[in-house]
């Protein structure tokens, strides 16, 4: 075991000190303390340590970013400011802002697009199946006003001749029953 190249005075002082404090421990002091190391341990230790340092450096090189976080953010912003990306980015931003503006003005529009996708037949079938559950006013609202107007227009006019013709077509018996 190596000792420091101590000035003799210091070494003598230490020996003298332990002699005075405890002659018993002075006698116990031996060159060999009982501890051993594997063969060639100290010959190989520097290489072992250098290998570990190189491993750690390689790991930190591969995991660490090449630039700091601020540089990385600036780099990404610069990419987005290139014309081809800037145009796409600006269009997307305009669309998002316009959509938000429209939906905020008329919230019902948000649901209308979904309703438009349902066919008339499907709506009619649904209304007919649920007719009993709907209130009259709601059903009236559902009827297409234009179609109703057309139907009325095509109806035969209830003039006197028309009634006369119907009456003419009825038998005497049928006429009695109706009256």
Partner 1 sequence: METPLTNISDDHILGLLNQSNTFEKGFRVLMQKYQEKLYWHIRRMVMDHEDANDVIQNCFIKVYKSIHRFERKSKLYTWLYRIATNEAITHLNKQKKKATASIDDEESGISHRLEADTYFDGDEAQLQLQRALDTLPDKQKLVFNLRYFDEMSYKEMAEVLDTSVGALKASYHHAVKKIEQYIRAL
Among positions 44-63, residues that touch partner 1 (CB under 8 A) are 45-46, 48-50, 52-53, 56
For the record, the structure tokens of 7 come out as: 């000035």
Q: Select 50 or 138, whichever has its Cβ closest to partner 1.
A: 50
Sign of dihedral through CA atoms 46, 50, 53, 55?
negative
C-beta of 35 vs 69, nearer to partner 1: 35
Q: Contact between 10 and partner 1 (CB under 8 A)? A: yes
2 touching partner 1, by CB under 8 A:
yes
* Token digits of residue 4: 């420091």
By CB under 8 A, residue 30 contacts partner 1: yes
Burial per residue of 135-164, b for 16 or more beta-carbon CB atoms within 10 angstroms, e otherwise: eeeeeeeeeeeeeeeeeeeeeeeeeeeeee
| Residue closer to partner 1 (CB basis): 50 or 100 | 50
Angle between the 109-116 and 83-105 helix axes, to the nearest 10 degrees?
100
Name which position in 8, 16, 19, 24 contacts partner 1 (CB under 8 A): 24
Task: Work out how close the CB of 14 gets to partner 1 at its nearest, in angstroms, rounded to a whole number.
Answer: 5
Residue entry with tokens 């976080």: 69
How far apart are the C-alpha atoms of 168 and 175, rounded to whole Å?
Answer: 10
Q: How far is the CB of 59 from partner 1 (least distance, A)?
A: 13
Residue 22 CB, nearest distance to partner 1 (Å)?
5
Residue 21 or 166 with smaller CB distance to partner 1:
21
C-alpha 101/C-alpha 137 separation (Å) is: 33
Rounded CA gap, 118 and 120, in Å?
Answer: 7
Site for partner 1, rule CB under 8 A: 1-6, 10-11, 14, 18, 21-22, 24-25, 28-30, 33-38, 42, 45-46, 48-50, 52-53, 56
């Amino acid at each position: 075991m190596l000792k420091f190249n101590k000035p003799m005075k210091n070494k003598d002082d230490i020996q003298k000190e332990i002699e005075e404090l405890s002659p018993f421990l002075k006698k116990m002091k031996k060159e060999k303390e009982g501890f051993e190391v594997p063969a060639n341990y100290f010959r190989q230790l520097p290489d072992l340590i250098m290998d570990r340092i190189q491993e750690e450096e390689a790991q930190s090189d591969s995991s660490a970013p090449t630039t700091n976080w601020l540089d990385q953010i600036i780099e990404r912003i610069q990419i987005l400011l290139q014309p081809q990306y800037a145009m796409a980015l600006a269009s997307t931003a305009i669309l998002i802002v316009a959509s938000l503006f429209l939906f905020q003005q008329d919230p019902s529009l948000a649901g209308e697009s979904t309703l438009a996708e349902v066919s008339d037949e499907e709506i009619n079938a649904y209304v007919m199946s649920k007719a009993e559950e709907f209130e009259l006013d709601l059903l009236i609202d559902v009827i297409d006003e234009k179609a109703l107007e057309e139907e009325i227009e095509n109806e035969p006019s209830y003039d006197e001749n028309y009634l006369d013709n119907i009456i003419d077509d009825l038998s005497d018996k049928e006429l009695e029953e109706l009256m």
